[in-house]
């Protein structure tokens, strides 16, 4: 079965969606990604959807769910490169994806994740006793 590759790079996991998402593919990604986060003890996940041209309410919700699940597993998540048409569609569908962090492109997304990880590390340093 077709799968979306998940690349590990240090503490980061990179997911680039290069094909049009269908429902089963999204469910498989949800499974794979959560498993990989735990296995690799990843601290940050970047999901690139710049090639995604068509979304429906299900895929929209899947994006939100995947981001929320990563957060639960203590991995900072950022969704990058959403196309204008996709953004408008999601807003019109009433899915503003409130809990999802977003960035314009991979570069901005990586900068954001780096900053977040740095903040986490500092927080951990502040409380060494815990």
Partner 1 sequence: MTTGAGNVLGEVLKADQAVILQQWIEAQTTTASMRSELLSRGELHEQSRRFLTALVAAVNEGGVDASGPPYAAIRQQLEEMSFERARLGYTPVETAMFVFSLKQPVFARLRDRYLSDPAGLVDRTWETTVLLDTLGLFTTDVFQRAREKIIARQQEEMLELSTPVIALWKGILALPLIGTLDSARTQVVMESLLQRIVDTGAPLAIIDITGVPTVDTLTAQHLLKTVAAARLMGADCIISGIRPQIAQTIVHLGVELSDVVTKASLADALAVALKRSGLAVLPVRDGARANPSRHAPSASQPVED
The pair of three-digit structure tokens given for residue 81, joined into one six-digit string: 């490169």
- Give the C-alpha separation, 69 to 55, whole Å: 20
Among 29, 42, 47, 103, binds partner 1 (CB under 8 A): 103
Q: Is 108 in the site for partner 1 (CB under 8 A)?
A: yes
Burial annotation 48-68 (CB, 10 A radius, 16+ → b, else e) = bbbebeebeeebbbbbbebbe
- For 79, the 3-state DSSP assignment is strand
Residue 92, Cβ neighbours under 10 Å: how many?
A: 8
Q: Of the two residues 36 and 82, which places its CB atom closer to partner 1 in the complex?
A: 82
Q: How far is the CB of 1 from partner 1 (least distance, A)?
A: 29
Among 2, 84, 122, 128, binds partner 1 (CB under 8 A): 84
- Which range in 12-20, 23-31, 32-40, 98-106 contacts partner 1 by CB under 8 A? 98-106
Q: Is 16 in the site for partner 1 (CB under 8 A)?
A: no
Q: Of the two residues 38 and 119, which places its CB atom closer to partner 1 in the complex?
A: 119
Which residue, among 114, 112, 89, 92, has the nearest Cα to 102 in the 3D structure? 112
Binding interface with partner 1 (CB under 8 A): 79-84, 86-88, 90-92, 96-97, 100, 102-105, 108-109
């Amino acid at each position: 079965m077709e799968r979306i590759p998940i690349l590990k790079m240090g503490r980061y996991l990179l997911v680039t969606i290069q094909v049009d998402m269908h429902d089963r593919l999204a469910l498989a990604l949800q499974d794979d990604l959560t498993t990989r986060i735990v296995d690799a003890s990843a601290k940050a996940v970047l999901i690139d959807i710049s090639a995604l041209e068509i979304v429906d309410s299900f895929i929209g919700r899947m994006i939100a769910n995947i981001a929320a699940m990563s957060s639960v597993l203590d991995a900072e998540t950022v969704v990058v490169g959403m196309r204008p048409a996709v953004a408008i569609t999601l807003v019109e569908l009433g899915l503003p994806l409130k809990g999802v962090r977003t960035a314009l492109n991979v570069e901005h997304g990586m900068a954001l994740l780096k900053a977040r990880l740095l903040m986490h590390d500092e927080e951990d340093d502040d409380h060494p006793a815990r």
